Chain A
Amino acid sequence: MNEQSNAFAVAQSQFDEAAEMLGIEPAMRELLRWPRREYRFTIPLRMDDGGTQVLHAYRVQYNDARGPCMGGVRWHPDETMDTVRALAAWMTWKFAVLDIPLGGGNGGVTCNPKKLSNAEKERLARGWMRVMARELGEDRDMPAPDMYTTPQVMAWMADEFETITGYSHPAVIAGKPPALGGSQGRHDATARGGVYCVREACRTLGVDPHGAFAIQGFGNAGQHVALLHPEILGGGVLVAVSDTSGGVYNANGLDPKALVDHKLRTGQVSGFPGSEPITNEDLLELDVNVLYPAAMENVITQSNADRIRAKICCELADGPSTPEADTLLHVRGVHVIPDFLANAGGMIVGYFEQVQGKNNYFWTLDIVHRQLDRRMTDAYQSVYRLHRDKNVPMRLAAYLVAVSRMAEAVKLRGWV
């Protein structure tokens, strides 16, 4: 595999860049470049037809200097130790930039979950937990949902963990259904966290919060952004939205509630009354105050970055901008709130679930929102300060904040 197509190599190279800029000493650099603990094991999975498949599984606890590890468990055909390492590293940096007292972890199983029946999925979830249970705990490592591991899968894992240990542990698994101790506020957490960042960016940069905004992608996150942006910023005109069916535009504004209702009834935004069609590409280039790419990777590239006219670009999708485009946007003065920070709301609510579970006391939705607001606001401001002081792109600033916080924790513990 060439270097740039190996996810862990990419993660290490991003770390190296930040470590170089921060002048981190070699031993610290070596420690933070690698996971502290790795588990590799097999799970014999009994299939519905009576046969058995032996699946390869993983868990990485990347670094727990700042607190116990937390991170997803992915079920994916291409899961390897390197993808798990990379995701665990990114979780570590994300928790650090959010200043949450957790370390990063990740795990997975190499399998194709689309080919598994519900009964097979349950046996797989319980099988994974049977091997890993002794290495997990609310003060050690907490699995969370990730690719193809739904709240139901987390519920099976939680039940298996409690069966093995013999008593209740509501804090060990994040992303459970609310009936089993899942936190309120998970459904809109990603969107809400992004909009809190945008509110802070408007305040900091002097951008009119009542101006136009556009959303590319109208799935769960996009729909919630349409509703939350005017609510949290006290205004704002939604002028364009797109999904896979195409886009809709109205310079005078689209009614977010009516548009969400239209999407849920018809399955698409196209054909929304009172709108005209717009392509995904044209939407990205609209003259708006805020642009939310919430659909897919690499939609802003070096071929269109010079035509992006938004003042703020809030990356709710993972990786909507290429590295080259990121540099161009920075040079042109487009304020990018990187995915690293912008879409971290779900992770924070996962942390809240652990906090609530440990106390066996569950917060109201209002408390979740206020706590999320505080965390996102503080994180945005700390990244912004570094971005301003060092004149580096926001994405790099976020890495610098994260790595310096990790290095500080390691140093204080006397590990290096």
Chain B
Amino acid sequence: MILQRNSANPLVRDVLARPSATDPTTLATAIEQCCADILKELSGAIKIVATEHPGAAHGHRFYPDISGWASSHNPYAWSEYIDPAAGVMRLVLGAGSRLSAVNEYPRIVALSAPDRRPEAYFEDICSHSQRRADFINTKTGATETDYVADLIQARSLRVIELLTSTGDMYHPVTGEPIRALTCEGLLHDTPLVHFMRELLHRLAGAANNSVELTFVLQLNDGLGAMDLTPITLRAIEHPIPFDPATGKVLLSSQGYTLGRSRFTRFDRLVHISPRQYSLLSLTNRFELARLMGRIRRTLGDAPWILAGPGRWGTSSPELGVPVRFAEISSVGTLVEIAEMHEALTPEVSLGTHFMNDIISHDILCAAVLPERKDHFVDSAFFEQAPNSLARFMPGAEAWKDVLHVLEAHDCGGESFIVWADAVQRRMICAIEMEINSR
């Protein structure tokens, strides 16, 4: 007998209460019962299955066709046309370990707007598509990695068409169209997006909380259904509220964040003065961007906070600092201050110029619009705090008015902290005062 969704709620709640103790069959049953009516409507296009080791062997490589992560709340709503409450999916070919690999690019899908992508050109899409996939070598039992291009070429035409796309890029030697792993066919020619959006909505409703689901998809090489194996289901924990006694607030933002919730400490904060930046010539704005790259190498890999005017990564220095992602790749929090000069307040980008990198590196992006309620920037602090630029970059003293490298200890603090709540889309950056001075 097919259970209706309300009667499935207790089972879902039971799974959410003890996620680590849930066996695959129970989880699959809970998911199946939660969306039994949709599965029926889909006439078998998607089947929920419980499998200990989902995937299939292709030669000596055993891997699932798609590993996915989905959330009922989308923390990566980079456009006003994306509804955060509709959820999000990230998809990779092969094992799920690639979902969290730095410098890898899972396909990210806003479930309210699967067609909207932050890349404008097919070349950008290729640059930000998954390159490597993980699989188990059936001969050795070891986990190995190979290039997506090599794995995909051994698959059937149907799978290739579901998972890859071509555009106006051609191999410079062979002239063949270049394929990128985009999952476009999977998103447009199957009911996956509709199904996942509804499923997450119901799971979140049952949990009375946002939920995260990891899963695996097996595509049949013929014209058949796809099998969805749920792997884990858990409720998303909310961050504890920000305690104003924690420190002196330097930046705050409401409604303009991109990235998951967090509470993180940093030793350093780099600030570009919007006022001083607006006085620079176009040439000097580009030069400042190149200087940022040298600072990034000097600071090393320890994450830092970067705050400055307008859109990070724009190609137009009138709009913000025209850095390339490699020039700021070790930042942990990126803040866009919508303030430049009287004639122009640049529209913020929320990191869309390198959104895939921001997600891949788990960077929090926030925009501060100083004129708005619940937004704040302590410009006086940034202008007056001790500037360590000369120590890090001897010879760069000429930039000291525009570029501030601040170390928490030099500023009388213990650390810079960033608190963010992805659901409320709120971010606070503060300097945590040393315990003795609190």
Judged by a CB distance under 8 angstroms, whether B149 is at the interface is: yes
Judged by a CB distance under 8 angstroms, whether A30 is at the interface is: no
Please report the C-alpha to C-alpha distance between residue A118 and residue B120 in the assembled complex, in whole angstroms: 10
User: Quick one: closest B residue to A177, CB to CB?
Assistant: B168
Judged by a CB distance under 8 angstroms, whether B138 is at the interface is: no
Tell me which residues across on chain A come within 8 A of B127, comparing CB atoms: 267
Q: Are A5 and B315 in contact (CB under 8 A)?
A: no
Cβ-neighbour of B81 out of A47, A118, A220, A266 (below 8 A): A47
Interface size class of B (residues with CB under 8 A): 35 or more
Please report the C-alpha to C-alpha distance between residue A245 and residue B115 in the assembled complex, in whole angstroms: 29
Tell me which residues across on chain B come within 8 A of A204, comparing CB atoms: none
Tell me which residues across on chain A come within 8 A of B315, comparing CB atoms: 147
Q: Which of A63-71, A208-216, A257-265, A308-316 contacts B (4 or more CB under 8 A)?
A: A257-265
Q: Are B282 and A5 in contact (CB under 8 A)?
A: yes
Shortest A384–chain B CB gap in Å is 26
Shortest B132–chain A CB gap in Å is 8
User: Quick one: closest A residue to B357, CB to CB?
Assistant: A244
Q: Are B319 and A77 in contact (CB under 8 A)?
A: yes
Judged by a CB distance under 8 angstroms, whether B215 is at the interface is: no
Q: Are B131 and A219 in contact (CB under 8 A)?
A: no
Shortest A39–chain B CB gap in Å is 22
Those of B276-301 within 8 Å (CB) of chain A:
278-283, 285-287, 289-290
Cβ-neighbour of A264 out of B119, B178, B343 (below 8 A): B178
Those of A1-16 within 8 Å (CB) of chain B:
1-2, 4-5, 7, 10
Contact indicator per residue, chain A 280-302, by CB within 8 Å of chain B (1) or not (0): 00000000000000001111010
Q: Are B173 and A257 in contact (CB under 8 A)?
A: yes
Tell me which residues across on chain B come within 8 A of A224, comparing CB atoms: 172
Shortest A107–chain B CB gap in Å is 16
Judged by a CB distance under 8 angstroms, whether B392 is at the interface is: no
Cβ-neighbour of B282 out of A10, A188, A223 (below 8 A): A10
Given contacts A76-B316, A115-B79, A151-B168, A1 and B344 within 8 Å (CB-CB): yes
Judged by a CB distance under 8 angstroms, whether A48 is at the interface is: yes
Shortest B117–chain A CB gap in Å is 8
Tell me which residues across on chain A come within 8 A of B158, comparing CB atoms: none
User: Quick one: closest B residue to A151, CB to CB?
Assistant: B168
Tell me which residues across on chain B come within 8 A of A4, comparing CB atoms: 281-283
- The interface centre, meaning the residue of A49, A227, A245, A267 with most chain B CB atoms within 10 A of its CB, is A267
Tell me which residues across on chain A come within 8 A of B281, comparing CB atoms: 2, 4-5
Those of B104-123 within 8 Å (CB) of chain A:
113, 115-123
Q: Which of B9-17, B56-64, B201-209, B321-329 contacts A (4 or more CB under 8 A)?
A: B321-329
Please report the C-alpha to C-alpha distance between residue A323 and residue B286 in the assembled complex, in whole angstroms: 12
Judged by a CB distance under 8 angstroms, whether A322 is at the interface is: yes
Given contacts A113-B120, A267-B127, A78 and B282 within 8 Å (CB-CB): no
Cβ-neighbour of A49 out of B81, B149, B279, B318 (below 8 A): B81
Judged by a CB distance under 8 angstroms, whether A117 is at the interface is: yes
Tell me which residues across on chain B come within 8 A of A220, comparing CB atoms: 123, 169, 172
Given contacts A150-B121, A296-B324, A77 and B347 within 8 Å (CB-CB): yes
- The interface centre, meaning the residue of B118, B172, B346 with most chain A CB atoms within 10 A of its CB, is B172
Please report the C-alpha to C-alpha distance between residue A5 and residue B286 in the assembled complex, in whole angstroms: 11
Please report the C-alpha to C-alpha distance between residue A112 and residue B170 in the assembled complex, in whole angstroms: 27
Given contacts A4-B281, A220-B123, A150 and B168 within 8 Å (CB-CB): yes
Cβ-neighbour of A265 out of B131, B170, B341 (below 8 A): B131
User: Quick one: closest A residue to B318, CB to CB?
Assistant: A78
Q: Are A117 and B290 in contact (CB under 8 A)?
A: no
Please report the C-alpha to C-alpha distance between residue A31 and residue B121 in the assembled complex, in whole angstroms: 37
Judged by a CB distance under 8 angstroms, whether B242 is at the interface is: no
Cβ-neighbour of B346 out of A5, A7, A78, A261 (below 8 A): A78
Shortest A17–chain B CB gap in Å is 15
User: Quick one: closest A residue to B150, CB to CB?
Assistant: A265
Judged by a CB distance under 8 angstroms, whether A253 is at the interface is: no
Q: Are A298 and B318 in contact (CB under 8 A)?
A: no
Q: Are B290 and A260 in contact (CB under 8 A)?
A: no
Judged by a CB distance under 8 angstroms, whether B41 is at the interface is: no
Please report the C-alpha to C-alpha distance between residue A118 and residue B147 in the assembled complex, in whole angstroms: 30
Q: Are A298 and B283 in contact (CB under 8 A)?
A: yes
Please report the C-alpha to C-alpha distance between residue A78 and residue B322 in the assembled complex, in whole angstroms: 14
Tell me which residues across on chain B come within 8 A of A219, comparing CB atoms: 123
Those of B154-189 within 8 Å (CB) of chain A:
168-173, 178
Tell me which residues across on chain B come within 8 A of A299, comparing CB atoms: 290
Judged by a CB distance under 8 angstroms, whether B352 is at the interface is: yes
Judged by a CB distance under 8 angstroms, whether B308 is at the interface is: no
Tell me which residues across on chain B come within 8 A of A7, comparing CB atoms: 282, 318
Shortest A221–chain B CB gap in Å is 10
Q: Are A5 and B147 in contact (CB under 8 A)?
A: no
Q: Are A297 and B322 in contact (CB under 8 A)?
A: yes
Judged by a CB distance under 8 angstroms, whether A148 is at the interface is: yes
Q: Are B178 and A244 in contact (CB under 8 A)?
A: no
Given contacts A257-B173, A323-B283, A78 and B316 within 8 Å (CB-CB): yes
Shortest A307–chain B CB gap in Å is 14
Judged by a CB distance under 8 angstroms, whether B80 is at the interface is: yes
Judged by a CB distance under 8 angstroms, whether A385 is at the interface is: no
Judged by a CB distance under 8 angstroms, whether A40 is at the interface is: no
Please report the C-alpha to C-alpha distance between residue A224 and residue B173 in the assembled complex, in whole angstroms: 9
Q: Are B347 and A112 in contact (CB under 8 A)?
A: yes
Tell me which residues across on chain B come within 8 A of A35, comparing CB atoms: none
Tell me which residues across on chain A come within 8 A of B178, comparing CB atoms: 264
Judged by a CB distance under 8 angstroms, whether A37 is at the interface is: no
Judged by a CB distance under 8 angstroms, whether B332 is at the interface is: no
Cβ-neighbour of B286 out of A83, A151, A245, A298 (below 8 A): A298
Judged by a CB distance under 8 angstroms, whether B309 is at the interface is: no
Judged by a CB distance under 8 angstroms, whether B413 is at the interface is: no
Judged by a CB distance under 8 angstroms, whether B317 is at the interface is: yes
Given contacts A1-B344, A49-B81, A78-B319, A223 and B172 within 8 Å (CB-CB): yes
Judged by a CB distance under 8 angstroms, whether A319 is at the interface is: yes
Q: Are A322 and B278 in contact (CB under 8 A)?
A: no
Judged by a CB distance under 8 angstroms, whether A36 is at the interface is: no
Binding site for A on B (CB under 8 A): 79-81, 113, 115-123, 127, 131-132, 147, 149-150, 168-173, 178, 278-283, 285-287, 289-290, 311, 314-319, 322, 324-326, 341, 343-344, 346-347, 352, 395
What are 18 pairs between A and B in contact, CB < 8 Å?
A5-B281, A7-B282, A48-B81, A78-B314, A78-B316, A83-B316, A114-B117, A115-B116, A117-B81, A187-B172, A223-B172, A244-B324, A260-B171, A260-B173, A266-B147, A298-B283, A298-B289, A303-B395
- Nearest 7 pairs of A and B residues by beta carbon: A4-B281, A298-B286, A244-B326, A297-B286, A115-B79, A267-B131, A78-B319
Apart from A5-B280, A219-B123, what are 7 other A-B pairs with CB-CB below 8 Å?
A: A5-B317, A187-B172, A188-B172, A223-B172, A260-B171, A266-B147, A322-B283
